[in-house]
Amino acid sequence: MASRDRERRIRRIIRWLTVLSIVLGLFSTLIYASGSHLVIRYFNPQLGAWWDTHQFAIMEVSATALGLLIAIRCASRLVEDVDTRRRAKIFSLVVSAIIVIPLSHTVASIARLGWDGHGARVRDFLQAIADYGTGNILDKIVMGGVYFFKSVAFAALAGLALFAIVMVILMSLEKSDTVAEQRESPLP
């Protein structure tokens, strides 16, 4: 019963971290793409200057964190044992917190590949259905959204690999514990 309660707490923590990553990521993507940081700067110049400096990094880290959390949530459903699942989630969350910033730089570099080839078509289409100014803003929002979702997808792949490594480590530790227990027990 206690292990189920601990599992629920871990699940709740992961759910809140996922919601926080989504909100921060989408908010910073929309503000960055639309250039609305000027509104923040108008009401609070120091906060606006800080946000303008860090909004892209917040978007990248949020996308990476979201991808890692999605991977942890999906991969943990494949583990049947509740205690092993809980330990794997906790260990994966700790490792994810350690690697989220370095991984976000790598994921951001990978996510930048491939979008520029047909970017003019999208911009021209958006300018055709809206006027020039609105089309440019919509183009930036679409490009920012695609970049965000590509970052999430690449981080999810890295998160699945991370969870697999965690499971191998946990399984080997459990195996070594059972071998040690068998050695200590007298033979019948």
The pLDDT assigned to 116 comes to 56
- Rounded mean pLDDT for each run of 10 residues along the chain, 188 residues in total: 80 93 90 79 86 88 95 91 87 94 91 66 71 76 83 94 91 74 63
The tokens 């071998």 sit on which residue? 179
Angle at 57 between CA 117 and CA 103, to 5 degrees: 80
The dihedral over CA atoms of 114, 117, 123, 126, expressed in degrees to the nearest 10, equals -70
Q: Residue type for 109, please? A: S
In whole angstroms, what is the distance from residue 133 CA to residue 113 CA?
A: 26
Domain segments of the chain as ranges: 2-178
At 125 the pLDDT is 73
Which amino acid belongs to residue 25?
A: G
Which pTM value belongs to this model?
A: 0.82
What span, in angstroms and rounded, lies between the C-alpha atoms of 161 and 74?
A: 12
For residue 50, what are the contacts with CB-CB under 8 A and spacing of at least 6? none
